[in-house]
Amino acid sequence: MKKTIAVYPGSFDPLTIGHEDIVRRIVRLVDHLIVAVAETATQTKSGLFPIDERVELIRSAFADEPRVEATSFSGLLVDFARAREARIIVRGLRAVSDFEYEFQMALMNRSLWPEVEVLFMAPATRHTFLSSSLVREVGRLGGDVTDFVSPLVKARMDRAFERPATD
């Protein structure tokens, strides 16, 4: 039987525990999940980690899960998904405020490649307020991000913001 392959695309700058929660939920439903860091994000953002480091952090976070692959891609998401034979694109939907942007992207992606389906996944309730951009800002301004990212990501953020590690 053909394997069910899904792509979970994003900027993942940085990977938050909200993203990790979504990955653990998707992987229960598919045979193989590609967590794909986009080199071209639709919304411009002030970056924290280089693409390769984001990929490496995702790999480390899911080192225990052989069905999760982390990689990056350039160009259109649908072209990447098609090349990898992944007919499912998964996006986390935290709140109604996400909906318009996500809905637009989903319909655009499906008009570019009609065979793809976009699935929206709800995170755990406690993660609904989390976003990479807020985590970046909190970290940059000296706030404690311990509750929002894994210890490895926190250590890298401390290093990026040139603060001594707390443990």
Calculate the alpha carbon distances from 133 to 30, 85, 88 in Å.
28, 30, 25
Number of other residues whose CB lies within 10 A of the CB of residue 87: 16
* Per-residue x/- track, 39-68, ligand PNS (CB under 6 A): -xxxx-------------------------
Distance CA 54, CA 72 (A): 9
45 assigned to active site: yes
Residue 90's φ and ψ, nearest 5 degrees, are -110, 135
User: Among the options 11, 54, 91, 132, which is catalytic?
Assistant: 132
Q: Should residue 109 be labelled a site residue for ligand PNS when binding is judged by CB under 6 A?
A: yes
Which pair of structure tokens corresponds to residue 50? 């280089």
Looking at beta carbons only, is 77 or 145 nearer to ligand PNS?
A: 77
**Residue number with CB closer to ligand PNS (66 or 69):** 69
Query: For this structure, is 94 an active site residue?
Result: yes
Residues that bind ligand PNS (CB under 6 A): 9-11, 38, 40-43, 76-77, 105, 108-109
